[in-house]
Chain A
Amino acid sequence: MPRLYPAFKYTVIALWACFVAGPFMWAATTSFKDANAVQGGATYLPWLQYEPTATGWRNIFGGSGGVDVLGPFLNSALVTVAASAISLVLGSLAAYGLSRFRYRAGFVKNSDIVFFFVSQRIMPPVVLVVPFFYLLQVAGLLDTVPGLVIVTVALLLPIAVWVMVDFFNGIPREIDEMAMLDGCNPLTAFTRAILPNSLPGLTVAAMFCAVFGWNDFFFAFRLTFTEIQTLPQAIVALNSSIPPWWTLSAAALFGISPLVLLAIWVERYLSKGNLSGAIR
Chain B
Amino acid sequence: MDIPRRYKSMFVLPGLITLVLIIIFPLLFTIRVSFSSWNVSSPQMDFVGVANYVTMLSDGRFWAGTLRLVLLAGGTVLIQYVLGFGLALLVWRNVLGRRLWRVLFLVPMMTTPVVMAAIWQTIFHESLGPVNDLLGRLGLEPVRWLTEAGPAVVALMTVEVWQWTPFMFLLMLAGLLSLPKEPFMAAAIDGAGAWRTFREVTFPLMAPVSVSAVIIRLIEASKLSDTVYVLTSGGPGSATESPGYYLYIRALKEQQTGYGGSLSLTYLILMIVTLTVVAALLARALKVKGDS
| Residue positions of A touching B, CB distance < 8 A | 2, 5, 9-10, 12-13, 16-17, 19-24, 26-27, 30, 38-39, 41-42, 44, 86, 90-91, 93-94, 96-98, 100-101, 103, 111, 113, 115-118, 120-132, 134-135, 150-151, 153-154, 157-158, 161, 176-177, 180, 185-187, 190, 211, 214-215, 217-218, 222, 231-232, 235-236, 238-239, 243, 245, 248-249, 251-252, 255-256, 259-260, 262-264, 266-267, 270-271, 273, 275-277, 279-280
Contacts and interface: CB of A to CB of B under 8 A. Distances in A.
A10 B94 CA distance: 12
B115 A252 contact: yes
B106 A279 contact: no
Nearest to A236: B114
Nearest to B257: A130
A125 B18 contact: no
Interface residues of B, number: 92
B122 A245 contact: yes
Most chain B beta carbons < 10 A, residue from A44, A118, A235, A251: A235
B285 interface: no
B268 A20 contact: no
Greatest chain A CB density within 10 A among B123, B220, B226, B251 is at: B226
A50 to B, nearest CB: 13
10 contacts: A126-B247, A130-B251, A215-B114, A217-B113, A218-B225, A235-B112, A235-B114, A263-B106, A267-B102, A273-B177
Interface stretch (B1-9, B57-65, B148-156, B197-205): B1-9
B271 to A, nearest CB: 6
Contacts of B102: 267, 270-271
The 7 closest A-B pairs by CB, nearest first: A97-B11, A276-B178, A131-B26, A94-B15, A42-B133, A90-B15, A131-B29
Given A17-B101, A151-B22, A218 B16 contact: no
Given A186-B7, A266-B106, A94 B14 contact: yes
Contact of A267 (B16, B99, B108, B127): B99
A217 B208 contact: no
Contact of B162 (A23, A100, A231, A266): A23
